[in-house]
Amino acid sequence: MFATLINKLKNDTYITLETTPGHSPVFTPTIDRIEKLGLHDLVDGFSTTDNPLAKLKYNALFGAKMLQDRFQKPVIATMSMRDRNKIALQSDLLGANEVDIRTILALTGDPATMSDQPHTKGVFEADSSMLLDIISCFNSGINYAGKPFQTQPKPIYPFAVVNSYAKNFKTLQKKIQKKIKHGAIGIITQPVYDIENAKKLLELRDAANKECCPENKKAELILGVFPITKLRTAQFLSAHVPGIDVPNRWIELLRAAHERSPQEEYKVGFELSKELFEDLKALHPKIHLMTANQFEIAKDILI
């Protein structure tokens, strides 16, 4: 299962779909929706998010286990540095290892000040590089303190994230190099909305790999795609989310469509998003699709 996913990442087309567990003790309805739409037949794997925006959600590791068991496809489980110290991180990895949750997305995490839980404090012993280093230790048969395990953990496949846009792209290249140096095999970008932006990111990936890695340790770039079907979404991403650049052309087209009707707004946004998806797939067929659980849109994009 994992070997197939990694081979596709390195040598073939590769598409994963993000799922966001809800503020609920049940994740099965989300999985049922995916199955009903047949999305599991259109992607190579899934991911589960880990309390995004510091809002309380169903556990990402448990959600990954349920998805993986249902569809027999790898699920990249997100783990955030915000909520765990190095003991908890390693404990979660040990438990996940035995039940074959072994593709891990290492995140630093959104600030705890954004939380919906009163007086929440972030742990943040370090950034996501520490989790990547912990995974490297596990893959060598030792814990983060250097103590050997009685039983060798099964291989863990680490992923990381990076912004899709920066005013200073040299800074972005250094961030990509850092992720690669700490062991990430796949680097997922924040949503990309421009083909030239995607080409620039691929150049940065190539430069980062050349700078810091032997041939067999090179990391692959995975382009994030988040379809926009509403003007307010485009405006929010453009104004409030660092590291994402929504072209003015998109905003103006969505504004004109919004003034005509909600149906026209959706139509224009979807057409822009679908065209982008096809162009990115032709340029670099390694894509992570994010739809905030709007799985009907995901299906329409993928088919």
Query: What is the block-wise mean pLDDT of the chain (303 residues), using blocks of 10 residues?
Result: 93 97 97 98 98 95 98 98 97 98 96 92 95 98 98 98 92 94 96 96 94 75 97 93 92 97 97 98 98 97 96
How far apart (Å, rounded) are the C-alpha atoms in residues 2 and 5? Answer: 5
Domain boundaries, the chain: 2-229+277-302
Distance from the Cα of residue 210 to its chain's centroid: 24
The CATH number for 2-229+277-302, chosen from 3.40.50.880, 3.40.190.10, 1.20.1290.10, 3.20.20.220, is 3.20.20.220
- Tell me the C-alpha distance between 185 and 180, whole Å: 7
Cβ contact 281:288 at 8 Å: no
The phi, psi pair for 293, rounded to 5°, reads: 65, 15
Q: What pLDDT score was predicted for residue 252?
A: 97
Q: Nearest Cα to 68, choosing from 34, 109, 37, 91?
A: 34
Identity of the residue numbered 55:
K
Q: Phi/psi zone of residue 79: left (φ > 0), alpha (ψ -120 to 50 degrees), beta?
A: beta
- As beta bridge partners, residue 224 has 191, 288
The whole-angstrom separation of Cα 235 and Cα 250 is 10
pTM: 0.95
Among the listed residues 245, 285, 293, the one whose alpha carbon sits nearest the alpha carbon of residue 17: 293
